[in-house]
Structure formats: C-alpha cells, structure tokens
C-alpha cells in the first residue's frame, strides 16, 4: 500500500492545473516562419518580458490584494487591519520578487547589440512604455502623474486598472493611515487628501516618522521594508537603463523616447520621499 495518489484517478494533472500547453503557446517570435526561428535571440526577449509581466501581476496581488474587494488582502489590506506582521511578511515576499526582477537583467544582458538588432525592427513601436502593469505598480505605490496614462488604450481593462489605482489610496497612504491607527499624530489633511493628488514630501509626516523610528518598533520595521522596496525599484531602473545603454547605446527607443537619456531622468526618483528625508533627523 502506498499513500501516493494514483495519477490516473485524478483528472487534475501538472499540465492541466498550470495550463502548461496554453502557457507554452504564448511565445510567438515575429521572426518565426513555418516553425523556423530566424533570429535565435528573439525567444529570450519574449520569454523574459513575459516572466516580468507575471511577476508584476504577483507583486500587484501581494500589495493591493483582491481586486474584487479593494483593500482586502495584500499589504494594503493588512495595514488597514492594523496587522503589522502580516504586512511585513507580504512586503518581505515582494522584496524577494524584486531581487529576482533585478537579477533577471543579467540573463538579458547575455544578448549582444548585434543579436538584438537582428530582430529589433520587428518590435515596430512597441515598448516597455506600454507596460500597463508597470504603470499600475507605480500608481499602487503612490505615483500620481498624468504621464502614467500616456499610453493608455481607451476601454482596455488593463489600463482601466491603472486609472482605478490612481483613485485609490496608495501603499504610502495605507501606511500613514496605519500609523494614525496606532495613535501617531499624522496630520488630518494628509490622511484626508484626495487619492488622485500626489502625496508631496511633507515635514509634518517626517516628524511623525522620526517619532515612529524612536518609539514604535513594528511600524519602524515596516518603514524599513518600504524603503527597501523604494531602493529596490530604483535598483531595477538603474539595471534596466544600463542594459539599454549596452544594447542600443544612444539610439532612441522604439516607444519614441530619447532612450537612455529619458530613462536616466527617471533614476533616483524616490517612491516614498519622506522616508528618505527623515534620515537627516537622526
């Protein structure tokens, strides 16, 4: 007798549960004709972008929880419930994923400029600019900027999600509300601010953060996980721009930007500016 389930007795298989055939049918290099891949490296380019999109999906799920019940689950849900350890555990997971996202750049950097150029024209005007999930991630974290929606396709549900994210409290807003719940004196005008508006750097908030660091260990640890997240995202931007520079040099991007020049302008822009500003108070 063995406890191992009889595979024949179960309708669910590895392939059916994970939808492997469907998944493997989604990589369709444009240089492939009659089953022959003309440009060997195009498959890597597609695979790596798809893997990024899957991780973006997972990170969004971990941050904001269940779409059907906004605020339920995820880091934001845990913060709303005052559950510091739940939020910390989920942020820890997000940070591990972010490390994976950054290290994956190494794989794409094995592709030389010549290899990329062999299929680049086939991308036409498609570009990372059009990654709605990346924009959604920025919005969920706290970015409020009309440029988030520059590439929005009207009526496309994925872009509707970006728009919806800008009308909900951000992760930063959730953290401030969590601090208020723990009796920290977060100014009411900050807590009640219209979620559509950007959360500007604010000295009163920095004062609260200084108190948190000195007297509320759980909330301070959470602040450290948030600054890890901010730094991790900046690290991804840095690795991306260097990858772009070594692959296309000073050429403009397929999405119409100046390329490296534009991407460099997005470096060192913090997601949670108050968490950086408070450091000089210690």
Nearer to ligand HEM, 10 or 266 (CB): 266
For the bound state, the minimum distance from the C-beta of residue 109 to ligand HEM, rounded and expressed in Å, comes to 8
Q: Which of 182, 202, 178 is nearest to 274 (CA)?
A: 202
Cβ closest to ligand HEM, residue 57 vs residue 182: 57
Site map (CB under 6 A) of ligand HEM, residues 117-156, x = contact: ----------xxx-x--x----------------------
CB 259 within 8 A of CB 113: no
Residues whose CB is less than 8 angstroms from the CB of residue 5 and which lie 6 or more positions away in sequence, other chains included: none
Q: Which residues of 115-153 are buried (b: 16+ CB within 10 A; e: fewer)?
A: bbebbbeeeeeeebbbbbbbbbbbbbbbbbeeebeebbe
Stretch that binds ligand HEM, among 14-22, 171-179, 197-205, 257-265 (CB under 6 A): 257-265
Contact window for ligand HEM (CB under 6 A) among 8-16, 58-66, 226-234, 259-267: 259-267
Q: Is 207 annotated as a binding residue?
A: no
CB of 63 to ligand HEM, least distance (A): 16
Q: Is 282 exposed, middle or buried (0-12, 13-18, 19+ CB in 10 A)?
A: exposed
236 contributes a contact to ligand HEM by CB under 6 A:
no
Q: Per rule CB under 6 A, is residue 48 in the interface with ligand HEM?
A: yes
Specify binding-site residues for substrate.
45-49, 120, 254
Which positions lie near ligand HEM, rule CB under 6 A?
A: 48-49, 52, 108, 116, 127-129, 131, 134, 240, 243-244, 247-248, 253-257, 259, 262-263, 266
């Amino acid at each position: 007798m063995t406890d191992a389930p009889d595979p024949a007795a179960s309708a669910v298989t590895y392939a059916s549960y994970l939808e492997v055939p469907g998944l493997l049918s989604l990589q369709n290099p444009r240089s492939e004709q009659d089953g022959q891949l003309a440009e060997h490296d195009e498959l890597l380019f597609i695979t790596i972008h798809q893997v990024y999109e899957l991780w973006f999906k997972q990170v969004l799920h971990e941050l904001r929880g269940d779409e059907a019940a906004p605020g339920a689950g995820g880091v934001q849900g845990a913060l709303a419930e005052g559950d510091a350890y739940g939020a910390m555990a989920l942020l820890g997971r997000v940070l591990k994923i972010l490390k994976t996202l950054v290290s994956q750049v190494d794989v794409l950097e094995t592709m030389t400029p010549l290899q990329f150029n062999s299929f680049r024209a086939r991308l036409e005007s498609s570009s990372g600019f059009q990654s709605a999930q990346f924009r959604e991630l920025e919005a969920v974290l706290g970015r409020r900027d009309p440029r988030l929606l520059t590439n929005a396709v009207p009526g496309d549900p994925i872009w509707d999600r970006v728009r919806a994210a800008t009308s909900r409290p951000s992760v930063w807003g959730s953290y401030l509300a969590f601090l208020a719940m723990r009796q920290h004196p977060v100014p009411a005008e900050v807590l009640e601010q219209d979620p559509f508006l950007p959360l500007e750097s604010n000295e009163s908030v920095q004062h609260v953060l200084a108190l948190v660091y000195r007297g509320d260990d759980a909330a301070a640890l959470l602040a450290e996980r948030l600054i890890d997240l901010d730094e991790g995202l900046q690290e991804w931007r840095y690795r991306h721009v260097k990858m772009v520079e070594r692959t296309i040099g000073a050429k403009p991007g397929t999405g119409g930007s100046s390329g490296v020049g534009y991407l460099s302008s997005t470096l060192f822009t913090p997601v949670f500016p108050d968490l950086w500003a408070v450091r000089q108070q210690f």
